[in-house]
Chain A
């Protein structure tokens, strides 16, 4: 491993010492990115509690939105296994789901499924996306939104499902929406597939309301595309640790969650946050840390220049260099991925964060 301070390689102990000083001096340290495994998330939460900091995730925007929806009105999440085995009508909303996993349709529509309700053939209903390679095990239909937005399409569909009138009912789009709504009402188990990152908040509410409407007579639910960078795993860990999702501050004793106030990007840009620990350890992400405050960057070798941050610390990739608990979309929960290169000798994210915590303890004791 290597540790860099101001672009120059230093001894690990010196680098960690300097990192601890930086955090000890900060008024509001921010621990974010958090593209790491559960062990890394646990250590990040422990460190945030110790130093009165904030935790956020690189996908915090979408996670916070989904969290707010959940606590405002609840949700009907469907596991990937149930989606794959028992759904008859699958509505894909927007482009994000198929972008996130190009093989998604093959996985959703296998040749054979477990026993499933009803006798409808399985069918994909695409709204606001252009599916390619729909497996032969499924029928496929598309709602062409024309020049209307996805949000409008979702609202029209929800109105049609609830039996309410909506504008443009006589247009081609209106008719296409009405056909899709009828299919949903006649379904035995309809599942909506979407990404909370792509849909705005009102649209997400409309989707969830539509699911609840369908549930009155049949079975329905939503399958959300997993947040990148183990966002769902890190968020679950935050919830079981302190009762709140990411974008939570420990600065005032009790944990406090605020999706806007405790966004890492906002805190750094506004200057409210004055030190940043950014963890980008799952093989390198396109999401880069917000700039403007002294930063401790914890990442994999080759992912950042030594000068990319005040302090750069190299760690292994969870699930490659070491065994790791990560959110796995295929089980809609946390699973274990065995490491392949146990001889890499690289530390884990949790090792580094715990070591910084230990240095802070030593400082307090001194």
Chain B
């Protein structure tokens, strides 16, 4: 499942119904979203927003790990990964 959420059968049934809402929205939007209209990704157009390549303040390892559900030494720990090296 792409969203990585385990769902109960009830939830699946409910959601399937609500996907119709999405389909309705698409139908509505496609009434006016014609090929000649440019999409707007950012409400206020800007470009070339950059940062100088200068080191700033970093997190300490303790800060990085302070909310970790599980850690081992200075690294985060997770259970077995199903699959392969990326």
Q: Do A and B bind each other?
A: no
Q: Could you list which residues of chain B lie within 8 angstroms of chain A, going by C-beta atoms? A: none
